């Protein structure tokens, strides 16, 4: 019996070692991508694409290998994931979660035939090139044939993966495990109703924050200095990370000890960099807060994209667009830009960064209108995957929905249906995770304020670490031990729901726009 247990323990360690080595491949691929976006010379692109393909293929092959299958079989029925006895009844939750989540990934990965994966990857690689061109030419028709193929392949993918209720669920589940359309529909419907109502009241208000001080010269060096200052205050560990510049801000992790952020810079508007850094800083704290000792296993992986986004949105919006935060950090900003911000105040700055205006571009949207952009995409991609919406009708549908939800109409495809790269990546089911992130951010921040009675006072004094530590212990260190809903329920007492987010917005904008 004890010899059996020790053999099982050895096999468990062997499984973890195998998972670690596969993760090294994935994280090496992540470094190839980071380098591509930051320091790679322009001529290196073609070879880099091949290197990335090689690494991804190897990691995929290593994961669905007979070796991993036979390691898993020591613990479970590899066809169903049912744990053997005495593991099921006597092992602790953490190693059982490791096995459960590894099986989940393995089982999903095995369902996709390698030839299909290769075809999808090739199609998306070409589609991304076409998307860049089509966007430059403001011409959806150039992208149309590629998108048509992708939609066909994504439907096939959903059928390979399988689903209980709707085909779209199979894709959604890739980014937000266990989430379903039937859970999202009522949630998004409440949200849309409440947000359009709030937006109408804001648009009727005679108050308008003054945003005139954004449009001046803000030297990049000082912008980055303030950014580093804020990141350090958040608890982002520069000994285990760095901040660089790229065209689109992102966070990438090669290990919890090497988590890097990029930001973009607009010399005429420092909020672009500041809010990028708060956002990516939130993502990065999650990655730095995952348990190093479990590296390579699901216990050191984020729960879902929605929970990941909750971390970035919490810092960017709940904290970074709060009165408390700017009470402490506006003076820092003013010290960096004394001339530019001479006639501004913490209060005026707080109001300015909460300016609301329906606009065409999702990534530039304010907190009120942002989720309407998401709901629009969610509805359209569901229609493509489930209701046979002809792909060529997308631009017209896009225009109609923009008019209906936001009251604005894109002049062309570049500002409309072509603005996001996600569909060219084949990332159907990804967009909803942005909104899930916003909802969870508000739920978590509300709970943090309950658990830490001095939190807002701390923030107003520049002390951000209490919040970071709260997030570390409540969210980060758990990895994938719980699902997103389970995690939110354990922390806040409720599964993912829209009410705290709506209340948060109502309270803030009642104040800012004197509603």
The catalytic residues are 280
**Is residue 492 within 8 Å of 446, Cβ to Cβ?**
yes
Binder among 8, 37, 56, 58 for a second copy (CB under 8 A): 58
Site membership for a second copy, residue 258 (CB under 8 A): yes
| Residue 103 Cβ vs a second copy, minimum distance, rounded to whole Å | 23
Site membership for a second copy, residue 56 (CB under 8 A): no
Stretch that binds a second copy, among 5-13, 104-112, 256-264, 486-494 (CB under 8 A): 256-264
Site membership for a second copy, residue 255 (CB under 8 A): yes
Site membership for a second copy, residue 122 (CB under 8 A): no
Binder among 46, 85, 204, 293 for a second copy (CB under 8 A): 46
Count of residues binding a second copy (CB under 8 A)?
36
Q: How far apart are CA 214 and CA 59, in angstroms?
A: 46
Binder among 6, 10, 14, 44 for a second copy (CB under 8 A): 44
| Diameter of the chain measured on Cα atoms | 77
Q: How far apart are CA 215 and CA 360, in angstroms?
A: 20
Angle at 176 between CA 35 and CA 187, to 5 degrees: 130
**Is residue 398 within 8 Å of 376, Cβ to Cβ?**
yes
Site membership for a second copy, residue 301 (CB under 8 A): no
Which residue number, 295 or 330, has a Cβ lying nearer to a second copy? 295
| Residue 228 Cβ vs a second copy, minimum distance, rounded to whole Å | 13
Q: Helix or strand or coil: residue 261?
A: strand
| Residue 425 Cβ vs a second copy, minimum distance, rounded to whole Å | 22
Which residue number, 241 or 282, has a Cβ lying nearer to a second copy? 241
Site membership for a second copy, residue 240 (CB under 8 A): yes
Binder among 70, 257, 335, 345 for a second copy (CB under 8 A): 257
The tokens for 375 are 């709901």
The tokens for 75 are 């613990």
**Is residue 116 within 8 Å of 159, Cβ to Cβ?**
no
Which residue number, 169 or 258, has a Cβ lying nearer to a second copy? 258
| Residue 130 Cβ vs a second copy, minimum distance, rounded to whole Å | 23
Binder among 2, 3, 4, 50 for a second copy (CB under 8 A): 50
Q: How far apart are CA 26 and CA 62, in angstroms?
A: 11
Measure CA of the first residue to CA of the last residue in the chain; give whole Å. Answer: 70
Site membership for a second copy, residue 250 (CB under 8 A): no
Q: How far apart are CA 509 and CA 500, in angstroms?
A: 14
Phi, psi of 355 (to 5 degrees): -60, 135
| Residue 56 Cβ vs a second copy, minimum distance, rounded to whole Å | 11
> Which residues lie below 8 Å from residue 390, measured CB to CB, with a gap of 6+?
none
What secondary structure letter does DSSP report for 189?
A: H
| Residue 54 Cβ vs a second copy, minimum distance, rounded to whole Å | 4
Q: Helix or strand or coil: residue 259?
A: strand
Stretch that binds a second copy, among 43-51, 216-224, 311-319, 359-367 (CB under 8 A): 43-51
**From the DSSP assignment, how many helices (H) and strands (E) are in the chain?**
21, 3
Give the rounded distance of the alpha carbon of 144 from its chain centre.
27
**Is residue 95 within 8 Å of 298, Cβ to Cβ?**
no
Strand pairing category for 251-255 and 243-245: unpaired
Which residue number, 122 or 494, has a Cβ lying nearer to a second copy? 122
Per the omega criterion (within 30 degrees of 0), is the bond before 86 cis?
A: yes
Which residue number, 238 or 511, has a Cβ lying nearer to a second copy? 238
Which residue number, 252 or 327, has a Cβ lying nearer to a second copy? 252
Site membership for a second copy, residue 294 (CB under 8 A): no
Which residue number, 146 or 260, has a Cβ lying nearer to a second copy? 260
Which residue number, 20 or 228, has a Cβ lying nearer to a second copy? 20
Binder among 75, 250, 295, 378 for a second copy (CB under 8 A): 295
What secondary structure letter does DSSP report for 391?
A: G
| Residue 293 Cβ vs a second copy, minimum distance, rounded to whole Å | 12
SS3 content of the chain, % helix, strand, coil (to 5): 70, 5, 30
Site membership for a second copy, residue 280 (CB under 8 A): no
| Residue 198 Cβ vs a second copy, minimum distance, rounded to whole Å | 42
| Residue 222 Cβ vs a second copy, minimum distance, rounded to whole Å | 19
| Residue 261 Cβ vs a second copy, minimum distance, rounded to whole Å | 11
Q: Helix or strand or coil: residue 148?
A: helix
User: Can you give 430-475 as a three-state secondary structure string?
Assistant: CCHHHHHHHHHHHHHHHHHHHHCCCHHHHHHCCCCHHHHHHHHHHC
Site membership for a second copy, residue 239 (CB under 8 A): yes
List the x/- string, 13-42, binding to a second copy by CB under 8 A. Answer: -------xx--xx-xx--xx--x---xxxx
Binder among 177, 235, 241, 346 for a second copy (CB under 8 A): 241
- Beta-sheet strand order (sheet of 251-255): 243-245, 258-263, 251-255
For helices 140-161 and 93-111, the axis angle rounded to 10 degrees is 120
Positions in the binding site for a second copy (CB under 8 A): 20-21, 24-25, 27-28, 31-32, 35, 39-44, 46-48, 50-51, 54-55, 58, 237-242, 244, 254-255, 257-258, 260, 295
């Amino acid at each position: 019996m004890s010899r059996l247990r020790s053999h099982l323990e050895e096999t468990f360690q062997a499984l973890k070692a195998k998972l670690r080595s596969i993760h090294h491949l994935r994280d090496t691929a992540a470094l190839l991508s980071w380098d591509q976006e930051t320091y790679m010379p322009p001529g290196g692109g073609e070879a880099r694409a091949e290197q990335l393909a090689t690494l991804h293929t190897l990691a995929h092959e290593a994961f669905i290998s007979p070796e991993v299958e036979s390691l898993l079989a020591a613990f479970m029925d590899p066809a169903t994931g049912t744990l053997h006895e005495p593991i099921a009844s006597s092992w602790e939750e953490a190693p059982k979660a490791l096995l459960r989540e590894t099986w989940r990934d393995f089982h999903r990965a095995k369902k996709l035939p390698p030839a299909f994966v290769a075809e999808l990857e090739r199609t998306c690689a070409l589609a991304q090139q076409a998307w860049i061109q089509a966007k430059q030419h403001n011409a959806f028709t150039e992208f149309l044939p590629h998108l048509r193929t992708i939609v066909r392949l994504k439907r096939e993918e959903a059928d390979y993966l399988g689903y209980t209720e709707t085909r779209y669920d199979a894709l959604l589940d890739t980014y937000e495990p266990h989430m379903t359309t039937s859970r999202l529909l009522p949630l998004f419907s409440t949200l849309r109703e409440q947000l359009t109502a709030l937006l109408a009241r804001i648009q009727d208000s005679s108050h308008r924050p003054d945003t005139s001080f954004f449009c001046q010269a803000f030297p990049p060096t000082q912008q980055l200095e303030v950014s580093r200052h804020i990141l350090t205050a958040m608890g982002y560990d520069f000994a285990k990370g760095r901040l660089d510049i790229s065209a689109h801000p992102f966070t990438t992790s090669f290990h919890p000890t090497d988590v890097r952020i990029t930001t973009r810079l607009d010399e005429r508007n420092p909020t672009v960099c500041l809010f990028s850094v708060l956002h990516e800083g939130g993502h990065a704290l999650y990655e730095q807060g995952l348990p190093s000792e479990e590296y390579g296993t699901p216990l050191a992986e984020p729960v879902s994209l929605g929970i990941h986004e909750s971390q970035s949105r919490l810092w960017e919006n709940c904290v970074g667009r709060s009165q408390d935060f700017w009470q402490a950090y506006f003076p820092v900003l003013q010290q960096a830009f004394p001339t530019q911000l001479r006639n501004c105040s913490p209060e005026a700055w707080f109001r300015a960064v909460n300016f609301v205006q329906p606009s065409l571009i999702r990534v530039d949207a304010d907190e009120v209108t942002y989720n309407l952009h998401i709901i629009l995409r969610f509805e359209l991609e569901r229609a493509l995957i489930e209701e046979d919406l002809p792909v060529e009708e997308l631009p017209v549908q896009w225009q109609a929905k923009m008019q209906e939800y936001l009251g604005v109409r894109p002049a062309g495809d570049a500002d409309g249906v072509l603005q996001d790269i996600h569909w060219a990546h084949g990332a159907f089911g990804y967009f909803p995770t942005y909104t899930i992130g916003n909802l969870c951010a508000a739920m978590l921040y509300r709970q943090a304020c309950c658990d830490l009675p001095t939190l807002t006072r701390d923030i107003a004094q520049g002390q951000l670490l209490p919040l970071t530590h709260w997030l570390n212990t409540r969210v980060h260190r758990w990895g994938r031990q719980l699902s997103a809903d389970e995690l939110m329920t354990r922390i806040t007492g409720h599964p993912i729901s829209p009410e705290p987010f709506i209340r948060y917005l109502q309270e803030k904008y009642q104040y800012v726009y004197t509603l």
